[in-house]
Amino acid sequence: MPRPRLSGHDRRQSIVEAAKTVFAMNGYEGAKTFQIARTAGVSEALVYRHFPSKTALYRAVLRHVIHDQDATLKRFGAIEPSARGIVDMLVRTARNAIAGDAALNALGMRLVFGSLAADGSYARLVYRRASRLVLPQVRAAMAAAESEGALESYSVAPENAVNFVEHVTTMIQMTRSGGRPAVEHPEGNARLIADCVRFCARGIGLRAEVVERLLGKALAPDYANDINATVE
């Protein structure tokens, strides 16, 4: 049975999706239009019919990345400026990470890892823009936590807090992607989330007693059961 013909708009979108993968895996210089065409299942001539140059196609990919990133951040929600806001943010981030391939923008993060193995141009765009959007919220939350007396004297810079939490949770997500987890975590998902939040919150500089008090509320039994039911 022949495939249904795609509209011009849908065909263009399929080329952009293919280009996103090829650019992320090979970098801008290493990506070839024939690879993009092959990934999209079209001729190279058709790629050039929609995009006059590789640069034009790359710009379309960047616009697509920005849209995906905005949608992901919107679904994560804002960070309340308080110690509780920090812990709630960490719980949401850890919960998303353990979902692996089902995490928000999972393909986008896999592409970031591919980019890091290439020239890093795609990854730099994603990280710089995410930091620019998230950092003001984290800075405000840490300032509020300090005024509450919830931070240790050694608390890290907000810029490092954003980066360190991303590094930890994204690596968890990657090890749980692609089917069977590459790393085994004992005692189930609820324990993994709690340990991840403790690790990040204490690393950021939240006091231990504050973390335990707020974490107990964030990981109520019904919440933990929901995690195990939907992710395992």
CATH number at residue 14: 1.10.10.60
Give the tens place of pLDDT for each residue, 21-47: 888 778 788 889 999 999 999 999 999
105 and 206 part of one domain: yes
Q: Kindly state whether residue 184 falls inside one of the protein's structural domains.
A: yes
Arithmetic mean of pLDDT, 177-194: 85
User: Are the CB atoms for 173 and 100 separated by under 8 Å?
Assistant: yes
Q: Kindly state whether residue 71 falls inside one of the protein's structural domains.
A: no
Inter-CA distances, 64 with 36, 57, 58, 77, 108, Å: 16, 11, 10, 20, 10
Q: How confident is the model at residue 208 (pLDDT cuts 50, 70, 90)?
A: very high
Residue type, 2: P
Give the tens place of pLDDT for each residue, 70-86: 888 888 899 999 999 99
Closest among 180, 73, 178 to 131, alpha carbons compared: 73
Domain-ending residue, one of 66, 87, 107: 66
Range of the domain at 6: 1-66
207 and 139 part of one domain: yes
Percent of the chain predicted with pLDDT > 70: 91
What does the angle CA 103 – CA 105 – CA 111 come to, to the nearest 5 degrees? 115
Rounded Cα gap, residues 9 and 90, in angstroms: 38
Q: For position 105, what pLDDT does the model report?
A: 82
User: Are the CB atoms for 200 and 168 separated by under 8 Å?
Assistant: yes
Q: Answer yes or no: is pLDDT of 132 > 60.
A: yes
Q: Answer yes or no: is pLDDT of 98 > 50.
A: yes
Rounded Cα gap, residues 143 and 48, in angstroms: 51
Domain-ending residue, one of 37, 66, 95: 66
Domain-ending residue, one of 66, 87, 118: 66
pTM of the model: 0.79
Q: Which residues pair with 206 in a beta bridge?
A: 151
Q: Answer yes or no: is pLDDT of 228 > 60.
A: no
Total of domains in the chain:
2
